[in-house]
Structure 1
């Protein structure tokens, strides 16, 4: 029997468990350990609440979780309830699938001012993550600045701009829905250091701005390169450019909220006294290598809210080698140390889509199989249960999660699939039925 521990119950964790099951069948036991009482990680707390079709992949993970040899071990914190070294002693392999849930620091003056939030925090707030339920972002000012030109920045802009009725069918939490409904932001500026040809947005996300009830995208035609230059792009990016050109051709819109794409714009400081009042920006140009360099021309964009979408980091774990510059665990193609592996964003950093984690998980399991060979046979699951019971840890099972989910569905608004519990205490209470 092989005993595998997976730390983290997001896509990378469940794809790894699925790969173990496919490879070893009945001779493997996989424990998926998570600090929260609820599974699915990024799917629950990171995907935009109005992208329910993407969240539907959790049904695949649920099918894996309900098999006899895969187990969810929720409400267990690594370092507090059990250490990595202890798990390495109990399991034939330990796989770190913790993702990259922390914001990369915005390294400019004023970044610590109230009103500056990271995208992980803001997305966690409107998705009901317990770590961010009390965030209370300032939405009463006229302007918001989003730093970044990727899909996450677009998600944030879209959520800030939507009218309440446009969230029908989403699982945005009630506290965020109420706060957004009362918001007075009328200009949302997306800052990007480079130009339209360098943005990291996909066609679907850009096109979603086309259908907003009270907001319209604003693009300066002068920022667009000559149309013949689009030929050098791949097919997907050419479609993005076609959409951006269509937005630029529209000119002014009567809609009350403007989503402004500010290209060749590098934030150099957050301005304000006891709170954010604006973002000082330097105009850029591209050098011969395609890098953004400052021109010396600066201007200020008024804002009460600044959202930094500049990347994510994996939180370090005591005793695990860490690559601080990359913001992930130090590893050699997924191998961290004897019996210790990393997968997904914890291995490669915050790159790729949800689906990218599937081949990554399968590749890691192949490495584990090669390292274990015909060996294995550590104590695994029974020993962990004994250790956690001895320490009084209140473990949440997948069956418990199903009770929590049933309670969330029952508490939902008429036009929502669920109303998420936003505290661990509420989750644990719902488990009792």
Structure 2
């Protein structure tokens, strides 16, 4: 069996040269999911061999390219992943693109199991007019830009406006807001790229709005990220007390994390912002950020010359239902907000990997049942000792019928006998 370049996959060559057969697993993608999978297999399946394939020369996926630069403690897991990669039963093959350099069917022939953990390589689209205007970016591309993801190194976002708007109420949205408003002396101590730091040093952005379709009880960010944002030096939070009316009683019986998160938002909204200490008379106003609720984007508005974004028109919504299942329904009213930078942080989306792997393009997922890809059974080779179990069953059945053996003719039954 040959790869796209006429050679067997690296992992297959390793297997062919190994002295004794052992369970062989291929993991596609070297991000957290890939490494945790490898770690689990190595720990719980003695003797198993794991090969990790990664399209980039460098490993660790979202730990390197997704975690905010000012969250170094989250990246400590790289130490554990490095230990896994150093295992003599684990091999890492970077700079290998599955679907191009080696196909999934080739991997299926070479391994007992192929685990697809290559992540979501695209972003969900807003599906509204103007979203392709200059000044509008996906969160995935923006985060990739300041974190040094090779494909986003030339993004060059325009930060010449005063107001930025982020669509989404998740941790990634807060990360982006924090990076846009953080004092440079804090960012300089991180692993943010030099080019991003230089661009942020020239940034005119001093106000960031985070907009969501639903209300305060449906925000997806966590209390740690919210507290960081509230305590960010040189910035003040702008939360409207009216958005939180009656919520204290509504969250009384909510799970503790949701209750504490909501209480922190209420406390922040009701506090009068402290006057920022000016370093000198006439110093610039402090930077600020705020949360806007029950607003759904309708259109990104173009500038007069139609060359860039100048604002966004949003539909005001009302909520039907409660809790996480609440749905945002447009009321018919609209609102326009001026902003020169729009970042869409509404989630990522997977892309198809290989024509041999089923893909639901509507939902952007590989159809699966409890993780097993539907319609593509994993290759599970039958060993000679497995055959001997089948043989023994045939002989036993034959004896009962007064024959040398009763041949089993259904392959599915054969595999059932050996537990496949």
TM-score range, shorter chain: 0.7 to 0.9
Question: In the TM superposition, what is the alpha-carbon distance from 1:288 to its structure 2 partner?
Answer: 4.2
Matched, 1:256 2:286: yes
Q: Does 1:331 align with 2:368?
A: yes
Aligned-residue RMSD, C-alpha: 2.0
1:248/1:154 CA distance change after superposition, 3 Å: same
Alpha-carbon distance between aligned partners in 1 of 2:145 and 2:257, rounded to the nearest angstrom: 31
SS of corresponding position for 2:343: strand
Cα displacement string for residues 380-418 of structure 1 (whole angstroms, at most 9, x for unaligned residues):
xxxxxxxxxxxxxxxxxxxxxxxxxxxxxxxxxxxxxxx
CA contact 1:92–1:376 (8 Å) conserved in 2: no
1:23-422 aligned at under 5 Å gives the runs 23-25=44-46, 27-226=47-246, 227-252=248-273, 254=276, 256-272=286-302, 273-288=306-321, 290-318=326-354, 319-336=356-373
Give the secondary structure class of the aligned counterpart of 1:322: coil
Q: Which runs of 4+ in 1 moved over 3 A?
A: 251-255, 337-341, 371-377
- The answer to whether structure 1 residue 16 and structure 2 residue 32 are counterparts is no
Deviations 1:217-242 (A, max 9, x none): 21000011312222132111111112
The answer on whether the counterparts of 2:367 and 2:374 sit within 8 Å (CA) in structure 1 is no
**Cα distance in structure 2, aligned partners of 1:374 and 1:102:** 41
Check whether the contact 1:187–1:259 (CA below 8 A) recurs between aligned residues. yes
Deviation at 1:325, TM superposition (A): 3.0
Q: Equivalents in 1 of 2:81, 2:385: separation in Å?
A: 25
C-alpha contact 1:139 1:184 (8 A) present in aligned 2: yes
How far apart, in 1, do the equivalents of 2:296 and 2:219 lie? 14
Deviations 1:246-288 (A, max 9, x none): 2212344545211111111111110101111101112111124
Describe the superposition over 1:35-73 as per-residue Cα deviations: whole angstroms up to 9, x where unpaired: 101100010001111111111111111110001110110
Q: Tell me, in whole angstroms, the C-alpha distance in 2 between the residues paired with 1:298 and 1:275.
A: 21
Give the whole-Å Cα distance in 1 for the aligned partners of 2:232 and 2:294. 26
Partner SS, residue 325 of structure 1: coil
Aligned match of 2:23? 2
Larger radius of gyration: 2
What is the deviation of 1:326? 2.7
Cα deviation 1:10-57 (Å, max 9, x = unaligned): 1111111112212332x2221100010110001000111111111111
Number of aligned positions between the proteins: 348
Stretches of structure 2 that go unaligned for 5 or more consecutive residues are: 1-21, 277-284, 387-420
Distance in 2 between residues matched to 1:20 and 1:376, nearest whole Å = 23
> Does the residue aligned with 1:277 lie in a helix, a strand or coil?
strand
Greater shift in the superposed pair: 315-324 or 202-211: 315-324
User: Is there any run of 5+ residues in structure 1 with no aligned partner, and where?
Assistant: 342-367, 378-433
Q: More relative contact order in 1 or in 2 (CA 8 Å, sep 6+)?
A: 1
Equivalent pair of 1:3/1:376 in contact (CA under 8 Å): no
Cα separation, 2, equivalents of 1:376 and 1:293:
62
Alpha carbons 2:26, 2:50 under 8 Å: kept: yes
**C-alpha spacing 1:4/1:224, structure 2 compared with 1 (3 Å):** same
Aligned-partner Cα distance in 2 for 1:232–1:201: 20
Measure the CA separation in 1 of the matches of 2:249 and 2:55: 52
Question: TM-score normalised to the size of structure 1?
Answer: 0.77
Structure 2 contact 357–376 (Cα < 8 Å) conserved: no
Separation in 1, partners of 2:363, 2:375? 22
1:347 is matched with which residue?
Answer: none
Shift of 1:2: 1.7
